[in-house]
Amino acid sequence: MTPEDSTSLHPSFLVAVNDPLVALDITTTLGEAHPGARIATAEDRPSAQALLAQMPRLALAVVSLSPKDAVSSDFGQALRQTGARLVLMGLDAEEHGEADGYEVLHRPFRTEDLLALISR
């Protein structure tokens, strides 16, 4: 899925997580919570980074990324430059992300957990 009109007044979200079923669950939840939102999904970092250029009003990104990669990788730096809220997923994120100051979506998660996280 790719973003549509970049002039939209609705929020934009990026979902770039390793598990396609988890990505679908997150995308569905975001779409139900924010009707009209632009939600882009990517299966890997290069695809996700390419989508960033098309999403100037990115509000939130849920990504499979370690806290270290959020700081040191090109993708992590590009995400931080957008000013969007960054929610990390994955084992390293679950073990160290919150201590490093990141929001983390812990697995397994329920729809309510994701909704609580995005409503903060």
Say how far apart CA 41 and CA 54 lie, in whole Å: 12
pLDDT at 57: 87
CATH class of 12-118: alpha beta
Say how far apart CA 7 and CA 42 lie, in whole Å: 21
- Global pTM reads 0.90
Residuewise pLDDT in 10s, the chain (120 residues): 444 444 457 899 999 999 999 999 999 999 999 999 999 999 999 999 999 988 978 999 999 999 999 999 999 999 999 999 999 999 999 999 999 999 999 999 999 999 999 888
**Strand 85-89, strand 58-64: pairing:** parallel
pLDDT at 8: 55
Q: What are the residue ranges spanned by the domains of the chain?
A: 12-118
Phi, psi of 6 (to 5 degrees): -75, -5
